[in-house]
Structure 1
Amino acid sequence: MSGLGRQRAVLVFLAFAFAYFFSAVLRAITATLAPTLTSEFALSAQELGLLAGGFFFGFAATQLPLGQWLDRHGPRRVMLGFMGVAIAGCLAFAFAGGFTALLAARVLCGVGVSACLMAPLTGFRYWLSPPAQLRANSWMLMTGSLGMLASTVPVQWLLPLIGWRPVFWGLAAGIGLATAAIAWLLPGWGAAGDAEPAATDPDRSYARVWVHPYFRRMAPLGFVNYGGMIAIQSLWAGPWMVRLGGLDAIHAARGLFAINFAMLLTFWSWGWLNPWLARRGISVERMIAWGTPISLLVLAANVLAGPAAGAASWAAYCVSSTFLSLAQPAVGMAFPRVLAGRALSAFNLVVFAGVFSVQWGIGLIIDALLALGWTPLSAFRAALATFLVASVACYAVFLRAKG
């Protein structure tokens, strides 16, 4: 561990994790609210996919300037600015009166929390050793899984008591508390003994990131495979269980809770395993090469199973896809520290552009096939089978490329 003492590093991690918890709640809450919003606003599958994807559109749209700002100004200053936008997005969603207002608010929420993972990873690149970076990344994702857990059964329990709009008032208040923790606990840029990045790297472009062979090798997996897994976890697993499995909203929320709890345990385990694997020379690339085929086989089994693919089946798919999460810190470590913010944000742009594309794309395919007279079962299967074919193709690109 470098740059920060152990006690200060723990406090900084907790401050980041508190903010990322609310980012994950906002990311996944659409899956739980899908039946309520669909009923209240008469949303089609395409509109529901676009509404969920709007968050990721806003998220992705900020990544390129975000990376430059992180390298120049550091995590603390950037986080404080973005969190204010997140609070505004939550309040706008709470007062929305139609689909257009809902979509605009979701985009604003995505913009606001778009630094909640990139800022920590940029700081960790400066302040922590490589094995500690892998552990911190996994435990940040574990915190995200905890937030996604909170977006399922707890939110479903609150809906009949207070309604969905006050839930977003509460999220705005929670993000406000996280903002105060960031302001109090995070060091300023250069305060941990590192040179000011802007002073050592006058070139603030992304050219060195885009052309790097390691980035190009990981990008297709990040866009389709990893982004698609998040799209299913944060949206389409819920409608699959409702429309094909026949579950009501409460039981679907419990299924999503189970999926996210499985992800929480998995990322907690990765946090312990990653330093051990790194010390034994087992590379991230090797783990991705071994693990990705498992996720592809599970996805194929779920498509074939149809209505029989419930929460356990989708949890198995999401858990087996977590090998892909190792790519994110690995991309950051493949570049010099002065490029860390841009490299991480560029890869995050790839991932969340993939989430938006897959979430919306699945909805488009389902609506198109239903309009042609296909059954919901056939339409959902065809949409997920299309995603499976694209995932296999991207894995093949990864195996053939050299980074």
Structure 2
Amino acid sequence: MSVLRWAIFSVLGLAYFFVYFHRLSLSVVADDLASDFGVAAGVLGLLGSVYFFCYAAMQFPAGLLSDSVGPRKTVTVSLLVAAVGSVLFGLAPGIRTAFVARVMVGLGVSMVFIPTMKVLSQWFKAGEFAVMAGILNAVGGLGVLAGTWLLGLLATSFGWRVSFQVIGGVTVVLMALAWLVVRDRPADSADSPVAQPDAIGLLAGARRVVSTRHFWPVAVWFFFDCGIFFGFGGLWGGPYLMHVYGMSKGQAGAILSMIAWGMIVGSPLLGVLSERLRSRKRVFILASTALALLLLLAVALPASLPQWALFVWFFLFSVCSSAIVIMGFTATKELFPVSMAGTCVGMVNLFPFFGGAVFMWLLGRILDGYPLALEAGYSIAGYRVVLLVLLIASVLALACTLAMRETYPQNRGTGPGRIVCHHTAR
């Protein structure tokens, strides 16, 4: 069983790799899309944001499908939809087809994370689960690396269209592996490494989540924090580096790759810091304060940072806006009983992607409000306003962290992987 569960995790980890790949892939090829389709920044921002609208809208159904038809079938079908969407995006003759393709990709990859969490909860003990979640987020960081730096190289060498068609073909292979390898739970329930808690109905659980007032500061924090990350790191960060700093696509992709390293390095480090401080809330406050200071620096010096400083800036930006999300899911789970873990994570997971959808579109509209600087692209004045909006959003995210409840479990039970938390929701 030990070998099988690692094989299952490997396949699902690869699926999550492509979730992040598609999530940030438009940032590097944004200029190519605008040129080929002849669209303005607002339309391009909407093209990027439609992924997030689809992803957010499918989180509740993803939990329902995982509980009814099972994670294996859910992930297999979703990967097929994503594969077809990726190939169609590479073949799109116009912006309308590109929108249809992007919707398919968004719908497909939206049903990977929640089923993966459910599978891991069946195959790994509670104490192992936290470690596996950290590894999964690191794999997502590798997907960011591929969606920025590697895609930049592929698009430069073969064009963005061929790149997305190849990714679609690889996803088909991954879909077949998911069907052949993944199993929802150990065949014999007596062999399961975890105890099965009493189930709480999905609708009853959802009502309990939304009626818990301590849920909302975390949810709103997710909206602003991930709106900043996806809006800038996922789409407009690449054009910003190319237009304001005059970088090539490859140079911009190299700097954007620091987003991936921020996730890979930052996720486990923030987890260790939380344990050392014996606090989730303090880590939220520290990360949100650092994010606000980073954006304040960018507003003050929008075109004056040396290249080495940009590498450092994007690394820290990723740590403070992306790696920190694992702490957000952890805090959300600790607000509720273990039996509600899937429901509460699915509910809070709506907010990061609504934030990404809103901010991608909003930042594009802001850039459209300023005249183009001819061949240089969007003007520095437009990007300065974009950075100012992001700074305001970071201050609002910081305010949410101050209103959060401390969820760090003060007492740990003696059972395997069991955590007893006195900070129960009221």
TM-based fold match above 0.5: yes
Which shows bigger deviation, 284-293 or 330-339? 330-339
The 5-angstrom pairing of residues 2-401 of structure 1 reads 6-189=2-185, 191=187, 193=189, 200-205=199-204, 206-267=206-267, 269-270=268-269, 274=271, 277-278=274-275, 282-309=278-305, 310-321=310-321, 322-370=323-371, 376-401=379-404
CA offsets per residue over residues 339-379 of structure 1, 9 Å max, x none?
A: 333221211111111011111111112212449xxx82222
CA offsets per residue over residues 170-197 of structure 1, 9 Å max, x none?
A: 1112212222222233223574637998
Bigger proportion of residues as helix: 1
> How far apart, CA to CA, are the structure 2 residues paired with 1:256 and 1:222?
22
Which shows bigger deviation, 108-117 or 170-179? 170-179
8 Å Cα contact 1:258-1:311 kept in structure 2: yes
**TM-score, with structure 1 as normaliser:** 0.88
Change (3 A) 1:331 1:114: same
User: Aligned with 1:152: secondary structure?
Assistant: helix
Which shows bigger deviation, 123-132 or 20-29? 123-132
> How far apart, CA to CA, are the structure 2 residues paired with 1:356 and 1:265?
26
> How far apart, CA to CA, are the structure 2 residues paired with 1:179 and 1:337?
30
> How far apart, CA to CA, are the structure 2 residues paired with 1:383 and 1:36?
21
Query: Which letter maps to 2:354?
Result: A
Which shows bigger deviation, 12-21 or 129-138? 129-138
Query: Which letter maps to 1:186?
Result: V
Change (3 A) 1:153 1:281: closer
User: Aligned with 2:92: secondary structure?
Assistant: coil
Q: Compute the displacement of 1:126 (Å).
A: 4.2
Query: Which letter maps to 1:201?
Result: I
Q: Compute the displacement of 1:264 (Å).
A: 2.6
Query: Which letter maps to 2:380?
Result: L
> How far apart, CA to CA, are the structure 1 residues paired with 2:303 and 2:273?
40
CA offsets per residue over residues 44-71 of structure 1, 9 Å max, x none?
A: 1112211111211221121121122223
> How far apart, CA to CA, are the structure 2 residues paired with 1:213 and 1:56?
25
Residue segments in structure 2 that go unaligned for 5+ positions in a row: 373-377, 406-424
Change (3 A) 1:397 1:266: closer
> How far apart, CA to CA, are the structure 2 residues paired with 1:118 and 1:253?
29
> How far apart, CA to CA, are the structure 2 residues paired with 1:200 and 1:41?
49
Change (3 A) 1:226 1:234: same
8 Å Cα contact 1:189-1:196 kept in structure 2: no
> How far apart, CA to CA, are the structure 2 residues paired with 1:44 and 1:208?
43
Change (3 A) 1:154 1:190: closer
Q: Compute the displacement of 1:287 (Å).
A: 1.6
> How far apart, CA to CA, are the structure 2 residues paired with 1:131 and 1:217?
26
8 Å Cα contact 1:86-1:111 kept in structure 2: yes
- Counting matched residue pairs gives 392
> How far apart, CA to CA, are the structure 1 residues paired with 2:59 and 2:300?
36
8 Å Cα contact 1:94-1:166 kept in structure 2: yes
Q: Relative contact order, CA 8 A, sep 6+: which one is greater?
A: 1
8 Å Cα contact 2:274-2:280 kept in structure 1: no
Residue segments in structure 1 that go unaligned for 5+ positions in a row: none
> How far apart, CA to CA, are the structure 1 residues paired with 2:199 and 2:346?
19
User: Aligned with 1:352: secondary structure?
Assistant: helix
CA RMSD of aligned residues (A): 2.7
8 Å Cα contact 2:42-2:361 kept in structure 1: yes
Which shows bigger deviation, 309-318 or 173-182? 309-318
8 Å Cα contact 1:56-1:107 kept in structure 2: no
What percentage of residue pairs aligned between the two structures are identical?
Answer: 25
Which shows bigger deviation, 195-204 or 140-149? 195-204
**TM-score, with structure 2 as normaliser:** 0.84
> How far apart, CA to CA, are the structure 2 residues paired with 1:178 and 1:52?
24
